Amino acid sequence: MTFTAIDFLISIPVSAALIGAIVLFYKKTDRSTTPIGCFIGCVILFWFVLCFVSGVSKKKQEIAESHFVKVTLVSSRETIKVPKSEFVGNDTVYRYRKGVYKNDTGKDLVKYSVKYTKDGSDTNKPIGLLIKPNEYFYWNDNENSFMFRLPPNSTSVTYKSSYGKSHQLDYTYLEFLDYADHVANDVNIVGYSKE
């Protein structure tokens, strides 16, 4: 569990007030304690107050952030927070997703997957998704996804299945994102014509 400086600043006076109330209670009821018992009790009380304050502040932060979607800008890879209310129409699918990107390049982009087989038999042209400027799209940023790189001629196909050797696949997909005018001849892009 991580605590912020604000959590400590709130917990100290609250704990001091509670400890003061307990001390007054002990004085009024003529009870006595040992110094080590008081110290241990104060530490335990402070810990509970700190955990409570931290939990409340994290919950408030989660509620405040639940109205936003983290969006990564393609050109700078900077992550910004966009209000969910901006995702209307077809873009409503991005309100609750991670890995949302925005095409802020000012140019048309194409997202496409290339199938690689062990024997190199697949020669079909990939089909690309056209992404206009200022459009949102989903991008799974992992070791099989590449931005602004040409697909290699071949890649090792080492896809393993958890269902056993008989269910292993002899192909894999790599995902690419590039400017539309860089891939127009190699990819079937629906609704795009190279000028």
Encode pLDDT of 75-128 as tens digits. Answer: 999 999 999 888 888 888 988 888 999 999 999 999 999 888 777 766 678 889
* pLDDT in the model for residue 158: 63
77 in any annotated domain: yes
pLDDT digits (tens, 9 = 90+) for 125-168: 888 999 999 999 999 988 889 999 888 877 776 655 666 655 66
- In a shared domain, residues 49 and 82: no
CA distance 114 to 125: 8
Q: By percentage, how much of the chain surpasses pLDDT 90?
A: 25
- Token pair, residue 74, equals 């393609």
- In a shared domain, residues 50 and 96: no
- Token pair, residue 124, equals 């079909």
163 in any annotated domain: yes
* pLDDT in the model for residue 60: 81
195 in any annotated domain: no
* pLDDT in the model for residue 70: 92
pLDDT mean across residues, the chain = 84
C-alpha radius of gyration, the chain, whole number? 29
- In a shared domain, residues 29 and 114: no
Q: What is the pTM of this model?
A: 0.65
- In a shared domain, residues 101 and 139: yes
- In a shared domain, residues 94 and 32: no
Residue 19: which domain range? Answer: 5-65
Domain count, the chain: 2
Measuring CA to CA, which residue among 90, 190, 80, 76 is closest to residue 135?
90
- In a shared domain, residues 23 and 90: no
Residue 50's contacts (CB-CB under 8 Å, 6 or more residues apart) are 3, 7, 8, 11, 15
- Token pair, residue 68, equals 């936003």
- In a shared domain, residues 41 and 86: no
**What one-character-per-residue DSSP string does 120-188 give?**
----PPPEEEEE-TT-EEE---STTEEES-PPPS--------TT-GGG--SEEEEEEEEEHHHHTTTSE
Q: According to the per-residue pLDDT averaged within each range, which of 2-6, 13-17, 41-45, 77-81 is highest?
A: 77-81
